[in-house]
């Protein structure tokens, strides 16, 4: 069943052709009309059109321009041109756009019907060819790597197949895996060196990496690999029936024995049998994995980390094992490199604590709002230093930092009545897709790219006087919190206090007095929680002359006295 679109600016002619020609004889079941080229293009966006009959001479967009636009988007649509001109140039242009027929006006109904029949026959033959067994086999061969990856990812994501269905898929994709033997699972992270490449170059390096892996494992294991959603490479390995999976092989240098997380040795050395080798108790799979680290470093000049699980049932257990390996890997997302971890030797983590530097005043949001770029960079440096020092192996803490930064940036941009997608188009995908960083260094680099882009934008764009005024006020308050009052702020920006208060409330939704009170209470809470200052000392630092008044305000805000707040925080 096919559909036909008739395009002609002569409304009567288009209506007549649509209504009076027996198109069903040509296999047409749906007939559409358009009275201009643009109307036709709009219609093709919503309707599945197979054959188009169009006039050449039309006001606005000509028929030749129209077929050019059609061919650019709908390459399989059959085009038939109607023209009152027999010039060679028209015919030559039509041929260039692979027009099925070129008919001179006035064309009879029979001529039009035969032209459409020929177009429909061409379409049918074309799609029969696509569906042929030979074409299907060729397509399968060309897409075999993609189809294999897709099936493995389905299994890792807990998709269930009936045994016969899975066996058929494995055979179709030429994967020599069987449910009768256990498999090993290996998760590989490509590290910093690989992140420097653009997508096309990285794809070539990943292709080389998987070839090296296949070469190393293929003498003892069937291999099957895919790139998963976190950009890790997953390898499914099954011992070859009758293979010598326990055989000794030449090995590259490896880290000292006795560690479940081993850094690979310098790749400039050749494999040897000295004291740097893995212990003899290491499994064949561990030794193969260490060889992979060595040769990737030697030939691709990059490092990889590997975590593996040696035995699980296929396919029942691979999803659960994959989740377990992924969690262990994400826990070690920080600064550690060239890990080689056997999941049976995973080390328990200690007790989690909050990252204090992230929440100490001045907060990221306030620095961003005030446009204090250098203090903002210094605070972020302190956060990343603490993160790298204390929580380099904690994916959760890195995630906490990422979401705090994203929230602060988003809030600041939206308060200025702007869109992230317009202000930071190059970084917007990261905001949408979520954190995909593998290291603290990647998160740090991305964060400072965003900060640099924001600073450059706000430096180059002239804001109206009200926006400039808000920035001046927030910068002044940030530097003079203890002494700041509505009058002192008004004096600083040379405005009447009443007018200043009105403008600030209109632009931010928060009165200046409320703003000062909120910042002072937040600073007070931090000082009480993180220092040994007395209550009266905190009050003095924040500009309160009467400690009793400060205590009353604090209690109204936090429903407890400052002293009670200190005691809850474990401060004397």
Q: Are the C-beta atoms of 120 and 28 separated by less than 8 Å?
A: yes
Task: Return phi, psi of residue 26, to 5°.
Answer: -95, 10
Coil, strand or helix at 441: helix
**pLDDT value of position 243:** 60
User: Token digits for 466?
Assistant: 């009200």
* Pair of tokens at residue 386: 């603490």
Measured at the CA of 458, the angle between CA 454 and CA 463, to 5 degrees, comes to: 145
Q: Distance between CA atoms of 554 and 65, rounded to whole angstroms?
A: 73
Helix (H) or strand (E) holding 31: strand 28-34
Q: Which string of DSSP letters, residue by residue, matches 206-242?
A: HHHHHHHHHHHHTTTEEEEEEE-TTS-EEEEEEEPTT
Q: Is the dihedral of CA 158, 159, 161, 165 positive or negative?
A: negative
Which among 154, 222, 185, 145 has a CA at the least distance from the CA of 326?
Answer: 185
In three-state secondary structure terms, 297 is helix
- Are the beta carbons of 489 and 472 closer than 8 angstroms? no
Residue where the block lists tokens 């081993």 = 262
Structure-block tokens of residue 101: 């027929």
pLDDT surpassing 50 at residue 488: yes
* Average pLDDT, rounded, for the chain: 83
Name the residue with higher pLDDT: 164 or 57. Answer: 164
Tell me what pLDDT residue 485 has.
92
pLDDT for 336: 65
d(CA 282, CA 287): 7
Q: Which of 120-129, 228-237, 360-369, 463-472 has the highest mean pLDDT?
A: 228-237
pLDDT of 465: 66
Backbone phi, psi, residue 186, to 5°: -135, 130
393 near 350, Cβ under 8 Å? Answer: no
> Do 331 and 395 contact (CB within 8 A), yes or no?
yes
pLDDT of residue 94: 62
- Residue 204 reports pLDDT greater than 90: no
Best CA proximity match to 528, nearest among 518, 517, 519, 539: 539
CA distance 481 to 333: 39
The H or E element containing residue 189 is strand 183-190
Model confidence at 326, in pLDDT bands (50, 70, 90)?
Answer: confident
State the pLDDT confidence band at 534, using cuts at 50, 70 and 90.
very high
Q: Is 204 left (phi over 0), alpha (psi -120 to 50) or beta?
A: alpha
Query: pLDDT value at position 277?
Result: 44
> 28 and 113 in contact (C-beta within 8 Å)?
no
Q: What is the mean pLDDT of residues 159-169?
A: 91
Residue corresponding to tokens 């606005």? 60
Which residues, in sequence order, are bridge partners of residue 308?
Answer: 186, 342
pLDDT of residue 264: 39
pLDDT, one tens digit per residue, over 38-83 is 999 999 999 999 999 998 888 889 888 898 899 899 988 999 988 7
Residue 2: closest CA among 25, 21, 27, 32: 27
How far, in Å, CA of 382 to CA of 386, rounded?
A: 6
CATH number of 2-131: 3.40.50.2300
Q: How many beta carbons lie within 10 A of that of residue 566, not counting itself? A: 21
Q: Is the model's pLDDT at 497 over the cut of 70? A: yes
**What's the whole-number mean pLDDT along residues 413-433?**
81
Q: Judge whether 404 and 512 are in contact, CB under 8 Å.
A: no
CATH code linked to domain 465-481+511-572: 1.10.10.60
Q: For the sheet containing 51-55, what is the strand order?
A: 28-34, 2-7, 51-55, 78-83, 101-104
Q: Is there a contact between 339 and 261 (Cβ–Cβ < 8 Å)?
A: yes
Round to whole Å and give the CA distance between 186 and 551. 59
CA diameter of the chain: 101
CATH of 144-345, one of 3.30.70.270, 3.40.630.10, 3.40.109.10, 3.30.70.380: 3.30.70.270
Is 308 within 8 Å of 286 (Cβ atoms)? Answer: yes
**pLDDT given at position 421:** 85
- DSSP β-bridge partners for residue 4: 31, 51
88-117 confidence digits (pLDDT tens): 456 566 666 678 888 887 889 999 999 999
How far apart (Å, rounded) are the C-alpha atoms in residues 274 and 408? 53
pLDDT (tens digit per residue) in 242-297:
665 543 443 443 433 333 333 334 434 444 333 334 555 578 888 999 999 999 99
Query: What is the rounded distance in angstroms from the CA atom of residue 254 to the CA atom of residue 266?
Result: 9
- Pairing mode, strands 340-342 and 304-312: parallel
8 Å CB contact between 355 and 386: yes
Q: What percent of the chain has pLDDT over 90?
A: 43
More confident residue, 466 or 300: 300
Cβ contact 416:467 at 8 Å: yes
What DSSP element (H or E) covers 513? helix 512-530
Range in 3-7, 266-270, 430-434 with the lowest mean pLDDT: 266-270
How far apart are the C-alpha atoms of 103 and 74, rounded to whole Å? 22
């Amino acid at each position: 069943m096919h559909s036909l679109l008739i395009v002609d600016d002569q409304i009567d002619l288009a209506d007549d052709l649509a209504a009076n020609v027996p198109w069903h004889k040509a296999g047409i079941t749906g007939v559409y009309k358009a009275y201009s080229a643009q109307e036709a293009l709009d219609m093709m966006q919503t309707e599945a059109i197979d054959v188009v009959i169009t006039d050449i001479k039309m006001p606005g967009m000509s028929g030749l321009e129209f077929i050019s636009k059609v061919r650019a988007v709908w390459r399989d649509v059959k085009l038939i041109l109607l023209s009152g001109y027999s010039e060679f140039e028209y015919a030559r242009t039509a041929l260039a756009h692979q027009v099925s027929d070129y008919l001179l006006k006035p064309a009879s109904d029979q001529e039009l019907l035969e032209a459409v029949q020929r177009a429909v026959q061409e379409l049918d033959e074309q799609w029969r060819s696509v569906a042929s067994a030979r074409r299907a086999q060729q397509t399968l061969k060309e897409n075999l790597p993609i189809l294999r990856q897709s099936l493995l990812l389905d299994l890792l994501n807990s998709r269930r197949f009936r045994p016969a269905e899975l066996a058929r898929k494995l055979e179709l994709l030429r994967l020599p895996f069987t449910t009768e033997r256990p498999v090993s699972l290996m998760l590989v992270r490509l590290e910093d060196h690989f992140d420097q490449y653009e997508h096309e170059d990285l794809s070539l390096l990943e292709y080389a990496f998987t070839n090296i892996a296949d070469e190393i494992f293929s003498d003892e294991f069937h291999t099957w690999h895919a790139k998963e959603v976190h950009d890790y490479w997953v390898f499914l390995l099954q011992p070859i029936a009758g293979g010598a999976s326990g055989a000794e092989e030449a090995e590259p240098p490896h880290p000292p024995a006795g560690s479940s997380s081993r850094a690979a040795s310098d790749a400039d050395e050749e494999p040897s049998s000295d004291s740097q080798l893995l212990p003899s108790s290491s499994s064949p799979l561990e030794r193969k994995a260490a060889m992979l680290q060595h040769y990737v470093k030697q030939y691709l000049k990059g490092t990889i980390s590997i975590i593996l699980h040696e035995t699980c049932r296929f396919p029942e257990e691979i999803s659960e094992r994959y989740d377990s390996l992924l969690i262990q890997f994400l826990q070690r997302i920080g600064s550690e490199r060239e890990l080689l971890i056997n999941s049976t030797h995973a080390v328990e983590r200690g007790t989690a604590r909050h990252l204090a530097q992230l929440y100490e005043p001045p907060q990221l949001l306030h620095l961003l709002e005030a446009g204090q770029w250098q203090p903002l960079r210094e605070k972020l440096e302190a956060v990343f230093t603490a993160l790298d020092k204390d929580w380099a192996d904690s994916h959760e803490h890195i995630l906490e930092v990422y979401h705090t930064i994203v929230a602060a940036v988003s809030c600041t941009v939206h308060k200025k009545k702007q869109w992230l997608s317009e202000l930071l188009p190059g970084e917007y995908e990261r905001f949408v897709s979520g954190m995909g960083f593998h290291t603290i260094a990647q998160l740090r680099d991305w964060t400072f790219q965003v900060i640099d882009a924001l600073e450059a934008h706000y430096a180059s764009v002239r804001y109206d006087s009200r926006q400039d005024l808000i920035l001046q006020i927030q910068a002044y308050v940030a530097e003079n919190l203890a002494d700041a009052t509505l009058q002192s702020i008004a004096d600083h920006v040379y405005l009447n206090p009443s007018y200043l208060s009105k403008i600030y409330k209109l632009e931010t939704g928060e009165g200046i007095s409320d703003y000062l009170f909120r910042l002072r209470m937040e600073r007070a809470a931090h000082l009480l929680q993180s220092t040994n200052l007395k209550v009266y000392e905190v009050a003095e630092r924040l500009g309160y002359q009467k400690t009793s008044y400060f205590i009353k305000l604090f209690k109204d805000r936090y429903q407890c006295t400052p002293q009670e707040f200190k005691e809850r925080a474990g401060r004397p």
